[in-house]
Structure formats: C-alpha cells, structure tokens
Amino acid sequence: MRRIILASLTAALVIGLALAPLAPAQQAQQPPPTWKQGQPASMADSMLAPIPQPPAPAALGELQVDKIKVPPGFKVTVWAHGINNARAMTWGDKGTLFVSSRVAGNVYAIVDKGGQREVKVIATGLNLPNGVAFKDGTLYIAEISRITKMPGIESKLANPPAMEVVYDILPRDVPHGWKYLAFGPDGKLYFNIGAPCNICIPPDTHANISRVNSDGTGFEYFAHGVRNSVGFDWHPVTKELYFATHARDWMGDDVPNDRFDVAAKKGLHFGFPYCHQGDIPDPEFGKGHSCSEFAAPLLKTGPHVAGNGVEFYTGSMFPAEYKNRAFLTQRGSWNRTKKVGFRVMMVTLRSGDVPKYEVFAEGWLQGEQIWGRPVYTKQMKDGSLLIADDYAGAIYRVTYSR
C-alpha cells in the first residue's frame, strides 16, 4: 500500500513537471547583483557601477607619479611597478615585502636588490587573497573562507613551501568576503567578515571583525555591526583597535559617510545595518532602532570614499608631528556622480577634541579621470611610507627631507 502511494505521488510529480509551463510567470523577481542591491526605484536609470579592475598593471611610463601632491618637503617616487592588483603589504623579518592582491589571485614577494626591486609571485590562483600578515618567520594569507600559512618562506622565495591551513571554516560568501589580516598586540590574527550584501540584515556570522589564535584555535567575534572593514591598526600607545569601514551605497551622492572608528573593547556594535555614520537610520532596516544604541563613529571620513588602509605612523623620517598620526588610504568612489577619494588622508587624534582630518597625498584622480587607486600604506624601516595602488599595479614611496 505504502509503495503504491509513493508510486502515485512520484507519477503525479512527474506529470506535474511535464506540465509545468515554460514561461516563468509564477517566478518572483530575483534580487539584483550585490553591487546594485538596495538601489531605490528613483535611481533605476543610474549608470553608476563599480570600477573594473584592469587585467594588467600599468607600464612605468603610464604612472603619473608627478601628479601626486604631498605636503612641502615630501617627495613621491615609484618604488616598484608591474605588480598586478597590488594591495596589502607586510614585512618579513629579513626585509622581504609581501604584497597581496584581490582578483589577480596572487601573493608577491618583493626583494630590494641593490636599489632594484625584484618581484616574485609566490602563490597564484588564490581566491581573492587580500590579507597578508607576518610573524616569527611565517607568512599568513587570508582568502575568502580560509587562512593559510607558509612557514620559513623568506628563505624559500624561489621555491615557496605549500600553504598549510590555519583556519578554513569561514563563510564562503564572495561579496565583502575578501579579508584584511593583521596581528594584534595580543598576538592574535584579526580579520573582517563583511556583510554579504550592500544592505541587508546579515547573518549573525557576518558584518564583524573577528580574531583567532595563530594556531587556528580560539576563534571569536571582536566587533559587531561593521559592514565591511578592510583596514585596521592598533594605536602605538593605547594599543586600541582603530578601523575603517565602507558605508552602504545607493542612498545618494553625499550620504552615508564611510567611518573611522575605535573599538576600545570587545563586543561593541557599530550600527550596521540599522544606523549609518552614527546618525542616519537606514531607510528600510532602521525602523525600531535608534542610532544611540550603537557606537558612534570617531570620524566621518566622507561619502563613498572607500576607506581601506589604516596605519599609524611610528617612524622618525617624517616631521615630529606625524608621530602616531593615522594614514587612511581611500581607494575612491564608484557610487557617486562626482568622484571622491583616490587619496591618502591623515588623522591626528587629539584628547578632548575631534580628530584633525586632512589630505596627505592626492592626484590619482584628475578631473573625473583616474589613473590609479591607492589602497594600502606600509611604513618602511627608515620611516618612509609605501603606498600600494591596485589599479595601476604599482607601489610608490614617500620620503621626507627638510
């Protein structure tokens, strides 16, 4: 009897499938691609779209380094070029600069050989390997859903060791799934798990900054309500975590601002998706919440600027007032009719006062044309500052002399 019922059910299903109409009349409208998601009907005709990454780096002659404006006494030169999609940088113990990429899927090692930079690809075909961090002779690499390591890499650049898994049970979502990776003062690896959308109620596992021990144990969430932070650093004195966050798109040219925040302790909520820039409730998800429930931004850094790199200056080459200033690198806007960002800003923290926020380096944007996109900085041992440009595939060096 049971079997007969099953058989007829199956038959009914088969008939049902056969009779199913070809026209998808009953199908629902699907969500748009992530970059377009959250676009209101009033902007449906907008031609704004993310700026595509060129598949190859610019030639040396195409780098308009003379157009980069810096304060008096500073000078910008090309330090290395031909590094497809060069992004985050970290130093090895023996002076190798390790450089990440995103869509290029590569990790590079750059060695300074008598004033010439030698670029080697040490890993390729990776899944958006934006995060690189180095500790005790070992390079750590963060892709979308995993962190791996290469022990002893600096003495094996010509023949890199296999990547060993440190932690590989992270979400597989690609949107905002690429990671910034850095060691905190506590010796733990910190990284972002971004919201898998432009705007949505993210799963509990997303929209945060997380940390894990370098042996893959002790995973925990550190900061919540963070849409996507792909740049952070710890204050040289207070050791508190400061981070940049990209704000949502499609709310107009001038709101919401990207943010620069401090997470002085674990467990704070920074507002996403309910409240943007500390004072604008989300038009859809803000209902039933007040912005006062969440940690307010330390600084509104501008709408659509795409704040990536965060680095506190600890060197001695730059003038004394630069000590402990934060360099914020802004990769630049796409979701804005007039482009902004494409520059390196600097923040001076002042106790009892709002931070001072000013331009350090700009000029990758000329009118509405861009020739490069600065994305991260890294201080050199001598106190000069490297700036990576993922669009042009180059690294510039900023020096100072009085």
Partner 1 sequence: MRSLVGASIVLALLAMIGAPAGAADLEAGRRKSEPCAACHGRDGNSTIPGTPSLAGQPVYFTHWQLIKYRDGRRKDPQMSPAAQNLSDTDMADLAAYYEAQRPRQRPAKIDPAKVVAGAQLANLHHCTSCHRPGLVGQQQVPRLAGQDFEYLLKLLRSFKAKTASDLDGMMTMSAQPLQEQDVLSLVHFMASLGGE
Binding footprint of partner 1 on the chain (CB under 8 A) = 20, 22-25, 27-30, 32-34, 36, 49, 52-62, 84, 103-106, 124-125, 173-175, 177
Longest pairwise C-alpha distance within the chain: 94
- Please answer whether residues 272 and 351 qualify as being in contact, where contact means their C-beta atoms are separated by less than 8 angstroms: no
Q: Residue 27 or 116: which CB sits closer to partner 1?
A: 27
**Closest separation in Å from C-beta 348 to partner 1:** 37
CB atoms within 10 A of CB 64: 14
3-state secondary structure of 325: coil
Distance CA 367, CA 323 (A): 32
**Closest separation in Å from C-beta 167 to partner 1:** 20
**Closest separation in Å from C-beta 52 to partner 1:** 4
Q: Residue 101 or 277: which CB sits closer to partner 1?
A: 101
Q: Residue 346 or 392: which CB sits closer to partner 1?
A: 392
**Closest separation in Å from C-beta 144 to partner 1:** 8
Distance CA 210, CA 46 (A): 35
Residue 297 tokens read as 């931004």
**Closest separation in Å from C-beta 55 to partner 1:** 4
State residue 237 phi and psi, 5-degree precision: -100, -55
Q: Residue 55 or 367: which CB sits closer to partner 1?
A: 55
Cα 308 to Cα 33, 42, 143: the distances in Å are: 23, 29, 17
Q: Residue 1 or 44: which CB sits closer to partner 1?
A: 44
Q: Residue 83 or 310: which CB sits closer to partner 1?
A: 83
Residue 359 tokens read as 């331009």
Residue 97 tokens read as 């600069």
**Closest separation in Å from C-beta 249 to partner 1:** 14
The dihedral built from the CA positions of residue 275, 332, 82 and 133, taken in this order, carries a sign that is negative
